[in-house]
Amino acid sequence: MNTANMKSRTWKKPPFIESPMLRWGLVVGGAFYLALAFGTMDVNWGRVADGIPRGQRFVSAFFPPDFVSRAGDIFDGILESLWITIISTVAGIAISIPVGLGAARNLSPRPVYLASRAILAISRTFPEIIIALFAVKLFGFGPFAGFIALSVGTVGFYGKLLAEDIEDMDPSQAEAVRATGAGWFQWLNYAVQPQVMPRMIGLGMYRLDINFRESAVVGIVGGGGIGATLLTSFDRYEFDSAAAILLVIIGIVMAVEYSSSYIRKWVQ
């Protein structure tokens, strides 16, 4: 019956944003923003052009990289990065456990909750490198400053996730254990820990990975580790040593990632 009048029916894909005003507003606004952003970018094209041969030299420095001529510096720097990574991860996680417990709404009284959340917010906002900058001012040059910076970063990251995980846990299991008359620590041990443990071990490994990558940059502001060595090689345009360092970093990150996926499987 309606085949006749349907012959002329056309179809267009319904637009993602229905209101045409808003749609075109977004398009025009986006284009305007891009134009403005590129317009104010203030690029020194002459300098960029100079960079092309330098870039080629940098890329060719990877074939082959020079592990040898600064081998001692690279080795020491990498080891120092590893030490910093390990102790800051351990210390950061140790501190973030009480803070994370305090920041879980279903666990803590209001004042403790607010205080813990404030600690987490502060330690999360600033990038590790800024914390390192101040740590170097306070504790002097060297790995201790890097250790402090990465620990603070770890507390912010791990504490927040721990708190969220506890808030998401199954309340009926927690209730059941509480109903047995368990004390607070017993309750933590039997009701909370089994529920959050596997995921938190995984996240701990993930943080170890992040901390290693960060430990490679705190050296730029004097916080110890491989970063200082890398900065020196760039400053002296020793691209083949820089290439070697970068490859070592990539290799270690891959190793950590691989072993952490292995450990995660083992734990779960």
Among 9, 21, 172, 179, indicate the residue that binds another protein (CB under 8 A).
9
Q: Is 143 in the site for another protein (CB under 8 A)?
A: yes
Stretch that binds another protein, among 111-119, 120-128, 157-165, 178-186 (CB under 8 A): 120-128
Q: Is 87 exposed, middle or buried (0-12, 13-18, 19+ CB in 10 A)?
A: middle
Build a one-symbol-per-residue string for 205-234: x at contacts with another protein by CB under 8 A, - elsewhere: --------xx-xx--xx--x--x--xx--x
Tokens of 10: 């056309």
Q: Is 4 in the site for another protein (CB under 8 A)?
A: no
Minimum distance between the CB of residue 142 and another protein, rounded to whole angstroms?
A: 5
Contact set with another protein (CB under 8 A): 1-3, 6-7, 9-14, 33, 37-38, 40-44, 47-48, 50-51, 54-55, 58, 79-80, 82-84, 86-87, 90, 125-127, 129-130, 133-134, 137-140, 142-144, 147, 213-214, 216-217, 220-221, 224, 227, 230-231, 234, 237, 242, 246, 249-250, 253-254, 257
